[in-house]
Amino acid sequence: MSSSRETRSRTLTGIAAAPGLAAGPAAVWRDQTVTVPRNSGRQPATETARLTAARAAARDEIRRLRAKVAAEAGQAEAAIFDAHEMFLDDTALLQHAQQAIETGVNAEAAWADAIEFFAAQLEQLPDPTLRARAADVRDVGGRVLDHLLGRRTAGVQLDVPSIVVARDLAPSQIASFPVARVLAFCTAEGGPTSHTAILAKAWGKPAVVGLGKAVLELSDGTLVQVDGTRGEVVVDPDEQTARAFSQRRALAERQAVSERSAAADPATTRDHRRMEVVANIGAVEEAAVALEYGAEGVGLLRTEFLYLNRRTAPTEEDHLAVYTAILRAMGSRPVVARTMDIGGDKPVPYLDLPKEANPFLGWRAIRISLQRPELLAVQLRALLRASPGHDLRIMFPMIASPEELRAAKAELERARRDVASAGHPVAISLQVGMMVEVPSAAVLADQFAREADFFSIGTNDLTQYTLAADRTNERVAYLSDACHPAVLRQIRSVVQAAHAAGRWVGVCGELAGDPDAVPLLLGLDLDELSMAPVAIPAAKAIIRRWSWGDAQQLAARALDVDSAMAVRNLVRASPPA
């Protein structure tokens, strides 16, 4: 006879958003409906002052949340709050609210209507990235409304370490949690690029998203087991399941301690092949963090943070200060700096970027840089000035044709002449490479290898372009798996073309730090893996457990299966000998 717990026990399957294992009581965040009072005949001056005060209070809260996330997760993860602060000052939004206030409407109703009007507009856009901004607008709007109504922001009280369960979570909601008491995140909605996924990874917390409405049926306190690597959640497990999970988690914790203690050691296979493991970073402060986790350099310096969430373009001296600080922190280690990779999906007011139906296929990255050469020149001059005494490498993003790469290199040579004529020294040897994230770049890799010193494969974009599946659209999130053999075959062809020309190849997308993918990338003969710093110790440990020969055999078999899940199942069923 089964016990009642055995009867209730069930497994929910979602999208693996952040790796790791956790078990504990559920703490369910339930959406609350706010009733907005509607009055007329109010004094416009009084209501305007109330709205101004509420916005100021909300701004202070947003800045505190930004500082908290920056300290706990990193500057790149905290950048979303810069966009939130900009929403508070959006001219069109404020005008919409003020027009209602001038007719005598109370501030609460005027603000709520303005927020909903603009959120609804965003939701009508065809691009999922821009549609997702509607939630951010409502998040900011709700914070201001709370102050107007004099109500405290609703949330989950974590009196004990818990599994946070919600329909979805806005950045400010996630940031409000005490990190030490969050064991894991489980959401009914969301995809692998949701705010929950991004912050969970940065915090090192397991997360499973896209679990569906069933997860919202849980009661507070229900025992939950979360496997963020496999995307599984076990609700109310029986004793045998709980015991087995506890053993897995204890083993994983011991393994993590061992991996961290060896993080600074090189990643060398059992048959003595060395793989370079470096970090993706997006702020000066993250260089030191990367070194703490064993990074052997920087494989992707995202320079977008210099451009975003400001009202004027960064100056050459702004760039120079940042690059100098990062290069100084990394010493003689290699640093690959990617030039500006922004577009219509990112708020850059001073560039006057057009709103596009699909910004991922539009005017972005190198396409902007070549049409706005004055912006690129400022960045390139600063990089060149920072280069002496360091192993700086420059990489151009979103290259789709050889003509684009040649044009970008011509801009670099022009910047080099400008720097030299100004009397500044430049590193004698400086590698110039490109991102491979567009299928055309993979197909023409042999041609690009004549022009580039190296390739860095951006598997996030390469996957969405190959499978025609927007990685920000949760309805097609199941397709956004870079372990798909169609992606792996392109990686193989790029490596073969590059090595034939004596060029090196790295991977800097999420795939590089994916435990299932590491042995495959080793077997595909990649030279470098670049990943989030927290993923480095585990990736190095995986490489050390394999021989290159065994990894090559595994990769060859993976190329012949027909789906990403089949690839993952193959890897999991094929432990190193």
Give the separation between CA 64 and CA 57, rounded to whole angstroms: 11
Which residue in 195, 319, 390, 484 is the catalytic one? 195
Question: Contact, 215 vs 188, CB < 8 A?
Answer: yes
Beta bridge partners of 300: 280
Nearest one of 209, 127, 143 to 470, comparing CA atoms: 127
E strand intervals along 177-325: 182-187, 207-209, 223-227, 232-235, 267-268, 274-281, 298-302
Name all contacts of 147-155 with Cβ < 8 Å and 24+ positions apart.
147/53, 147/54, 147/57, 147/58, 148/50, 148/51, 148/54, 148/107, 148/108, 148/111, 149/34, 149/36, 149/108, 151/34, 154/32, 155/29
DSSP code per residue over 155-201: ----SS-EEEEES---HHHHHTS-GGGEEEEEESS--TTSHHHHHHH
- Tokens standing for 16? 């693996």
Nearest one of 341, 368, 344, 372 to 358, comparing CA atoms: 344
Beta bridge partners of 336: 393
H/E element holding 372?
none
- Determine whether 186 is an active site residue: no
Question: Contact, 164 vs 228, CB < 8 A?
Answer: no
Which residue in 147, 390, 483, 508 is the catalytic one? 508
- Determine whether 195 is an active site residue: yes
CA–chain centroid gap for 113, Å, is 32
Give the separation between CA 161 and CA 183, rounded to whole angstroms: 6
Give the separation between CA 469 and CA 480, rounded to whole angstroms: 6
Give the separation between CA 570 and CA 564, rounded to whole angstroms: 10
Q: Is 302 marked within a binding site?
A: yes
Cβ neighbours for 514, distance < 8 A, ≥ 6 positions apart = 482, 483
Q: Is 460 marked within a binding site?
A: yes
Q: Is 271 marked within a binding site?
A: no
- Radius of gyration of the chain from its Cα atoms, rounded to whole angstroms: 25
Measured at the alpha carbon of residue 132, what is the angle toward residues 128 and 137, in degrees to the nearest 5? 150
State the number of CA atoms in the 13 A half-sphere of 363 facing the CB.
Answer: 12
CA–chain centroid gap for 220, Å, is 30
Give the separation between CA 11 and CA 6, rounded to whole angstroms: 12
Question: Contact, 31 vs 169, CB < 8 A?
Answer: no
Which CA distances in Å does 396 have to 379, 411, 522, 573? 12, 11, 25, 38
Q: Is 90 marked within a binding site?
A: no
Phi, psi of 185 (to 5 degrees): -120, 140
Q: Is 473 marked within a binding site?
A: no
Query: CB 110: neighbour CB atoms within 10 A?
Result: 27
Give the separation between CA 209 and CA 233, rounded to whole angstroms: 10
Binding residues for phosphoenolpyruvate: 302, 338, 460-461, 471
Residues that constitute the known binding site = 302, 338, 437, 460-461, 471
Residues classed as catalytic? 195, 508
Binding site for Mg(2+): which residues?
437, 461
